[in-house]
Amino acid sequence: MHKVLSNKLAIFTFVFPGLAFFLFMFVAPVILSFYYSMTDTIAPGLDVNMVGLSNYTELLFHDERFWLSLRNAILLGLGFVLIQHPICIFFAIMLDRIGGKSEKWFRTIFFIPCVISVVVISRMWLTLLDPTFGMFNKLLSVIGLDSLQHVWLGDPNTALGSLLTILIWSGFGWGLLFYYAGVKGIPEDIYEAARLDGAVGFKLHWKMTIPLLKPVIAVQMTLAIVTALKQMETVYLTTNGGPGDSTQFVAVYLYNQAFAASQYGYANAISILFILVCLLATFVSNKLVKGDSIEY
Amino acid sequence: MSKPISKSLASAIALMVAVPVALTACGGNNNNSNSGAAATNSAAASNGSGESVTLRFFSNLPDRKSGQGLIEQTVIDNYVKENPNVKIEVEALAEEPFKNKLKAYMASNEPVDVTMVHFGAELGTLVSAGWIEELNPADYEGETYNFLPGVFKGFTFNDKLYGLPRNSDYEVIYYNKKLFADNGIKVPTTLDELFEASKAFRDKGIEPMSMNGKDLWSMAVMYQNIAQRLSGDQNSILDATAGTKKFADDANLLEAAKILKRFADEKVFNTAYMTMDYGASQNLFTQGKAAMWYMGSWEAGMASNESLPQEFRDNLGVIQFPTITGGKGIADDLIAWNGGGYALVKASKHPEEAKKFFDYMMRADQWAKIAWDTGAAVPAQKYELTGNETEVQKQLTDILLNAASTSGMTFNDAGTAAFKDASQNAVGKLLTSGSPEKFIEELQAAADKQ
């Protein structure tokens, strides 16, 4: 074995496929994208006119829509971290405690949104939230809260909030699944020992489960933030960034600039900045929840 | 030790190479076999042996059983019947997905043969990408084609023709006569009456006017319509778009923005208009849940579309966009253009066969005649009245024949694709959160960038 690993050809053979994959599928497109971001081309394969860094200066200093879309993506990330994930953890612990048949039932039910296609989810929520025929407004009227009826996705004041709710709802199952697996991985005897020491109920989970879930939480936070930044399909299918840019997200904006506005060079500049933002967010979230590995 | 290792190493390398190759082969399988088949086909076709050719046709009309989709399919079926060696594969997507996929096809130089195209900015992008075949206008003169004068405007770039229009498009308001009559509401001819009617419908719990706000373009066209009704000038907004004057130079443009905003403030549009796409807004209207629909003449086919309720079709009427008190524009001024059409694709694998089919389709006795006879659209070519026209067709013909002036273009399509995106986005903002003054600034900024 040692001999194999000291054989340069062998090392090359083992490393090369992975490296080649990384280079061609990730590095090369990014470099190409960077090249296009310095041009004003309107579509790939067309006349290329170098414009230097002007796309970037335009983007950083003159483009309100980009900053708005970035802000919305970050808000979504915060929504995931501060609202969705605590709920996921809570439900994961509850699910674990319920046990038996109902555990299986609820586990399946909670995971349903994750197996439904994004298109279906989007249409479903559009229908639910329809101001005139939607069930949500009807429900409000039935319980006597007519005054709260609203054009949820069509009003710039509530569109973003409604969209965040949809996204948090539809991503809930995944988060739950990971935390549930994490909770299941904690040995029962640790709990028993803790109970003997007098830890019960909320305190037990706050002091025991959550710290033990830290590695899962660390990974999940990073994933949540990156998912939020990359959010595209649901927004595109429900509001397409509207009304009036109020639900504009970076990925949707990027897509529309590239393919609706035919500003391919500019869209590539957005994508390069987008990569930087994602890397930065990953770095920061890793720093914030630096999980010490726990062995049990 | 080293020999056996290198042997297993060799097989490992072979495997590593083989797996991706096998994978790519799987993925690319369809394309490969297609292009292979296509290559033999084109060779056969050019030999004139009449061997089978498959043409790819890309359309924005997914409903092949009624309306314009049916005309398209009928023309295709006619052609295939006359030319049994030709097969035509139709790929049809709804409007917005169609536009997006068309750009993707353009970017990958996809060998589509004939495609539907939208005039102005959209076609302009395809043309500058070198994806669209140039046409010779002289080929389309004379009685075989019978195009109306001036209809090539939105398909001409640098004096070269790149596509042919299929329809005469102009914005009107479709309305539901029964809803107006049952509620004792007057069909509006002025803007004030329109606002009054909307209020009356709202009081009755009926949506006044359905609007596909998510798509944004029809609100941009409405803005142009209002501006024209104020100024009586078709060219002002187009000149501002072209940069020969400023948007702020014409006070009517600001005033029009204020009026358009009133449409939203007074809840003229259906409540969920900002999340409604084309199909959803049409459904709202055809199901009798909205009294009016601001849409183009290409929807003439609603009156003869048997999949719609008989009651709705009997009560479908058309009115011109209302006039504005004190405005210089009259009801007979039309926001009219030739928006939809067809073009030949340069990447085509069978350019000759494609052109034959294209020319056949655009003949006055094919698309134009079938469109008019079935009542599905108002063609861009001369057509003869059959005497069997629906009431809606008659009204639409009257509106077109009596037009005092036509705009020729819609302003949002008259610039680049980036201008279209920015101007339509500005309209969306104006209606929801922005101010009319900011709107004019944004239009100016978008025009300056061109």
B233 with B250, same domain: the answer is yes
What pLDDT is attached to residue B25?
40
Is residue A275 domain-resident?
A: yes
- HSE value, Cβ hemisphere, 13 Å, CA-based, for B246: 7
Q: What is the mean pLDDT of residues B308-336?
A: 94
Residue A47 belongs to a domain: no
Q: Which of A238, A244, A245 sits opposite B275 (nearest CB)?
A: A238
Residue the block writes with tokens 């004041």: A157
User: Could B272 and A154 be called an inter-chain contact, meaning their C-beta atoms sit closer than 8 Å?
Assistant: yes
Rg (CA), chain B: 25
pLDDT tens digit sequence for A59-105 = 899 888 999 999 999 999 999 999 999 999 999 998 988 888 888 89
- In chain A, the percentage of residues whose pLDDT exceeds 70 is 95
pLDDT at A176 over 50: yes
- If asked whether residues B281 and B401 sit together in one domain, one would say yes
Considering only CA atoms, which of A222, A237, A278 is closest in space to residue A73? A278
Assess B54–A contact: CB distance below 8 Å, yes or no: no
Q: Which of A45-54, B13-22, B341-350 has the lowest mean pLDDT?
A: B13-22
Same domain, B344 and B402: no
| pLDDT-based confidence at residue B8 (cuts at 50, 70, 90) | low
Enumerate long-range contacts of B257-260, CB under 8 Å, 24 or more apart: B257/B223, B257/B430, B257/B436, B257/B439, B257/B440, B258/B436, B259/B191, B259/B226, B259/B230, B259/B324, B260/B219, B260/B222, B260/B223, B260/B226, B260/B427, B260/B430, B260/B431
CB atoms within 10 A of CB B181: 11
Q: Do B82 and B102 belong together in one domain?
A: yes
Query: Within this chain, do residues B426 and B362 fall inside the same structural domain, yes or no?
Result: no
* pLDDT number for residue A295: 61
Amino acid at A263: Q
Alpha helices in B47-107 (DSSP H): 67-82, 95-107
Residues of A in contact with B9 (CB under 8 A): 9-10, 13
User: Which CATH number fits the domain that encloses residue A102?
Assistant: 1.10.3720.10
Q: Where are the alpha helices (DSSP H) in B375-416?
A: 391-401
Q: Is the pLDDT of residue B124 over 50?
A: yes
**Closest Cα to residue A107, out of A117, A121, A89, A92?**
A92
ipTM of the complex: 0.80
Q: Has residue B25 been placed in a domain? A: no
User: For A179-203, how does the pLDDT look when each residue is reduced to its tens digit (9 = 90+)?
Assistant: 999 998 888 888 888 888 887 778 8
- How many Cβ atoms sit within 10 Å of the Cβ of residue B344? 23
Mean pLDDT of B261-290: 92
Domain membership flag for residue B382: no
Between residues B38 and A146, which one has the greater pLDDT?
A: A146
Question: Distance between CA atoms of B133 and B348, rounded to whole angstroms?
Answer: 9
User: Would you say residue A37 lies in a domain?
Assistant: no
pLDDT at B115 over 80: yes
Distance CA B56, CA B67 (A): 21
**Residue pointed to by tokens 């035919």:** A262
Which residues does residue A246 pair with via DSSP β-bridges, in sequence order? none
Q: Please check whether residue B417 lies inside any domain of the structure.
A: yes
**Is residue A36 one of the residues assigned to a domain?**
no
pLDDT given for residue A45 in this prediction = 67
B87 and B155 in a single domain? The answer is: yes
B286 has a pLDDT exceeding 90: yes
What are the structure tokens assigned to A119, written together? Answer: 């298109």
Q: Is a pLDDT exceeding 90 seen at residue B239?
A: yes
Residue A11 lies in a domain: no
Share of chain B above pLDDT 70, in %: 89
Pair B197, B115 in one domain: no
* Structure token pair of residue B229: 């009704």
In chain A, the number of structural domains is 1
Identify residues of A whose CB sits under 8 angstroms from chain B CBs.
3-4, 7, 9-10, 13, 16-17, 42-47, 65, 126, 130-132, 151, 153-156, 159, 238-240, 242-246, 256-257, 259-263
Give SS3 for B92: strand
| Selected residue with higher pLDDT from B324 and A198 | B324
Question: Could you give the angle at the alpha carbon of B217 between the alpha carbons of B213 and B220, nearest 5°?
Answer: 95
Domain membership of residue A23 (yes or no) is no
The confidence score (pLDDT) of residue A291 equals: 55
Q: C-alpha angle B9/B11/B12, rounded to 5°?
A: 60
Q: Across residues B252-279, what is the average pLDDT?
A: 93
Write down the mean pLDDT value for chain B.
Answer: 87
Sequence-distant (≥ 6) Cβ neighbours of residue B55 within 8 angstroms: B86, B87, B88, B89, B113, B114, B350, B353, B354, B357
pLDDT exceeds 90 at position A56: yes
Task: Find the DSSP H helices in B168-235.
Answer: 177-182, 191-203, 217-231
- Cβ of B272 within 8 Å of Cβ of A151? The answer is yes
Q: Is the bond leading into B322 cis (omega within 30 degrees of zero)?
A: no
Question: What percentage of chain A exceeds 90 in pLDDT?
Answer: 33
**pLDDT given for residue B389 in this prediction:** 86
Count of other CB atoms within 10 angstroms of residue B229: 24
Which of B214, B263, B346 is best to mutate for the A interface (most A CBs within 10 A)? Answer: B214
Expressed in angstroms, the distance from the first to the final Cα of chain B is 70
> Is residue A106 a part of any domain in this protein?
yes
Spell out the long-range contacts of A103-109 with Cβ–Cβ below 8 A and sequence spacing 24 or more. A107/A180
Distance from CA of B373 to the nearest CA of A (A): 35
Task: Classify B321 in phi/psi space as left (phi over 0), alpha (psi -120 to 50) or beta.
Answer: beta
Separation CA B233–CA A194 (nearest Å): 82
- pLDDT score of A241 more than 80: yes
The rounded percent of chain B whose pLDDT value lies above 90 is: 65
Distance separating alpha carbons of residues B385 and B372, to the nearest angstrom = 8
Tell whether the model's pLDDT for residue B443 goes beyond 80: yes
Residue A266: partners with Cβ closer than 8 Å, 6 or more residues away:
A37, A40, A55, A58, A59, A257
pLDDT at B33: 36
Number of domains in chain B: 2
User: What domain range is A255 assigned to?
Assistant: 58-288
**Mutate which of B432, B438, B439 to disrupt the A interface (most A C-beta within 10 Å)?**
B432
Rounded to an integer, the average pLDDT of B152-158 is 91
Q: How confident is the model at residue B20 (pLDDT cuts 50, 70, 90)?
A: very low
Q: Does the pLDDT of residue B15 top 50, yes or no?
A: no
- Is the same domain home to B173 and B161? no
Local structure of residue A83 (DSSP, 8 states): I
Contact A244 B428 (CB under 8 A): yes
pLDDT tens digits for B373-388?
888 888 999 888 888 8
Domain range for B252: 169-337+393-448
Q: Retrieve residue B21's tokens.
A: 């190759």
Q: Are residues B225 and B362 in the same domain?
A: no
Does B264 contact chain A (CB < 8 Å)? Answer: no
Residue B352 and residue B208 in one domain: no
Q: Which whole number is the average pLDDT over A28-50?
A: 85
Residue A156 lies in a domain: yes
Nearest to B9 among A13, A238, A240 (CB): A13
Q: Which residues of A touch B210 (CB under 8 A)?
A: none
The answer to whether residue B388 is domain-embedded is no
Residues A204/A194, Cβ–Cβ less than 8 Å: yes
What is the predicted pLDDT for the residue at B40?
37
User: Whole-number mean pLDDT of chain A?
Assistant: 87
Do B156 and B185 lie in one domain? The reply is no
With contacts defined as CB-CB under 8 Å, which chain B residues touch A33?
A: none
Q: Is residue B277 part of a domain?
A: yes
Indicate if B82 and B140 belong to the same structural domain: yes
Best mutation target, A146, A262, A263, to test chain B (most B CBs within 10 A): A262
What is the CATH number for B243? Answer: 3.40.190.10
DSSP B87: E
